[in-house]
């Protein structure tokens, strides 16, 4: 891929991360921020927007580091495991989804908390990732489904670790959704940029 396309991917993903974090940040704490809009407190609105934008840029950079790390790992995986790479990825997907339930429950559950509530995030990530992986495989080929699913679940979960460790609800949402958006964007844009470069 040409360096111009790499720069385009970086800058556009940065923008996607920033804007999605601004939108999600206001939505998550709308009960607090709606007063600013009702009072038309533009300086506070601008201050919060710039802060969320900066945080979103950080999330975007984390997402891009994860994306390019995965591209490298994927090549190594194909070289080392060859035809077994897809089953290995499926096993790792199952392991990560299990960990998102089990370890969060072990570390953060209060007395009386049910295990069922800890399934919400993993189930959402799985369903969202299935949709993105399906779109990727439809736009490229069937072999892209498992790698796309692996990236969307495993890499997203690794990138989400800072919020998982804090276990503060607003941060869990604020970090997860922009990272999912950035990861989806990169995954679905990459083959278009490569195809454009080939032409």
pLDDT tens digit sequence for 14-56: 999 999 999 999 999 888 888 877 777 788 889 999 999 999 9
Task: Read off the pLDDT band of 90 (50, 70, 90).
Answer: very high
Cα(131)–Cα(141) distance, integer angstroms:
15
Going from N- to C-terminal start, the domains of the chain cover 3-198
Answer whether residue 197 shows pLDDT above 70.
no
Q: What percent of the chain has pLDDT over 90?
A: 68
Is the CB of residue 145 less than 8 Å from the CB of residue 136?
A: yes
d(CA 85, CA 31): 47
Instruction: Report yes or no: 34 and 153 within 8 Å, Cβ to Cβ.
Output: no
- pLDDT above 80 (res 176): yes
**Per-residue pLDDT, 167:** 85
Mean pLDDT of 134-151: 95
Residue 62 token pair? 């984390």
Tokens of 91: 């096993």
């Amino acid at each position: 891929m040409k360096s111009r396309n790499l720069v385009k991917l970086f800058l556009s993903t940065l923008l996607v991360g920033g804007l999605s974090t601004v939108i999600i940040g206001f939505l998550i704490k709308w009960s607090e921020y709606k007063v600013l809009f009702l009072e038309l407190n533009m300086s506070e609105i601008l201050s919060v927007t710039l802060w969320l934008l900066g945080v979103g840029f950080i999330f975007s950079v984390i997402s891009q580091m994860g994306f390019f790390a995965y591209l490298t790992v994927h090549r190594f995986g194909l070289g080392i495991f060859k035809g077994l790479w897809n089953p290995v990825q499926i096993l790792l997907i199952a392991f990560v989804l299990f960990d998102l339930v089990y370890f969060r429950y072990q570390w953060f559950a209060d007395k009386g908390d049910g295990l069922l509530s800890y399934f919400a995030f993993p189930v959402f990530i799985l369903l969202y990732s299935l949709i993105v992986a399906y779109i990727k495989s439809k736009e490229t080929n069937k072999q892209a489904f498992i790698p796309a699913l692996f990236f969307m679940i495993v890499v997203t979960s690794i990138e989400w670790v800072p919020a998982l460790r804090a276990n503060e609800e607003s941060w869990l949402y604020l970090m997860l959704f922009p990272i999912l958006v950035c990861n989806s964007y990169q995954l679905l844009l990459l083959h278009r940029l490569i195809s454009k470069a080939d032409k």
